Amino acid sequence: MASRWTAAVIVPAVATLISPAWARVESAPVVTDRTRATLVAMGDAVVPGTPVPIALRLQLKPGWHTYWRNPGDSGEPASVTLHVQGKDIKGPDVWPLPERIDAAGIISYGHHGDVALLTMLPASAAEAGSVMQIDAEATWLVCEKVCVPEKGRFVLRVPVAAGPASADARDSRKPTPPAIDTASFAKTGQSLTLRVPTAALGSADGRVVDAYFFPERGDQIDHSAPQALQSRDGEITLTMPVAQFSGPAVSALRGVLTITRERADGAPRTEAFELAAQPAAP
């Protein structure tokens, strides 16, 4: 099960992604003992000239999880291939916010519940008023105490709209948490330290009492090690051991930062940010 704080993060993300407003064009399901999987077009119709997110929607039985783009210390991310108008498009491109999943101290990153993994279908020159057929195959791993690789083939027929998308429809298509681009990082042979200005963490009240960084790449930090939080002088720093298998130096460290604030009413509040940190000046 997800810990209390990660559950707080995941609920709004899923609620935003799986809203009845767009879940109207959905493929026939692939159903296993653990999963109901469908392919879903986000919107009522494809709009010529506008990219369309296509979701692999995995509705998992309670207790089961699938994996984030960086699966952490076990598992693997889902893979999707869309075949549209003679082209192959690989995904997913957009994942929901990850949870930390702990198995006796080994940490993986993944998702429980109703999970939408988005593949961006590039703007097409589809003919207005026609129906676009999207064939897809996908593989994903689900785990509870044991892991089961699953796969499915999907066919989705999406009407092509006559007119341009409304601004409202466009805005609802790619929900993302607030971005932080003022962070920096420094990496030594042993540890990686992330520095984030407090000003980048939004205006909510309450001291930051917990923070966790989920790196997009799997070869930067030790996923199962604790991350040490310090806050001082208008910034928080988060220090974590590097991965034993340490990948090449990166020009930007990307990932998701979650913070938990202590609040007067005693209920901790967790927020998530998309973070891209630059190397600290030497």
Residues of this chain that bind another protein (CB under 8 A): 1-5, 63, 73-76, 100-106, 108, 139, 141, 143-149, 209-210, 218-219, 224-232, 243-245, 260, 268
CB of 70 to another protein, least distance (A): 11
CB of 186 to another protein, least distance (A): 18
User: How many alpha carbons fall within 13 Å on the CB side of residue 94?
Assistant: 20
CA distance 266 to 113: 27
Compute how many other C-beta atoms are within 10 angstroms of the C-beta atom of residue 102. 15
Cα–Cα distances in angstroms (integers) from residue 29 to residues 58, 87, 152, 169, 252, in the given order: 10, 23, 9, 25, 39
Give CA 233 to chain center in angstroms.
31
Q: Which is nearer to another protein, 225 or 276 (CB)?
A: 225
Q: Which C-beta is closer to another protein: that of 123 or that of 228?
A: 228
- For the bound state, the minimum distance from the C-beta of residue 135 to another protein, rounded and expressed in Å, comes to 20
| C-alpha 8: how far from chain center | 15
What one-character DSSP code corresponds to residue 86?
Answer: T
- Shortest Å, Cβ 143 to another protein: 7
Cα angle: 95, vertex 99, 100; to 5 degrees = 135
At 17 the three-state DSSP class reads helix
Cβ closest to another protein, residue 26 vs residue 210: 210
Q: Which is nearer to another protein, 155 or 209 (CB)?
A: 209
| Smallest gap from residue 3 Cβ to another protein (A) | 5
In the complex with another protein, the residue whose CB is nearer, 160 or 229, is: 229
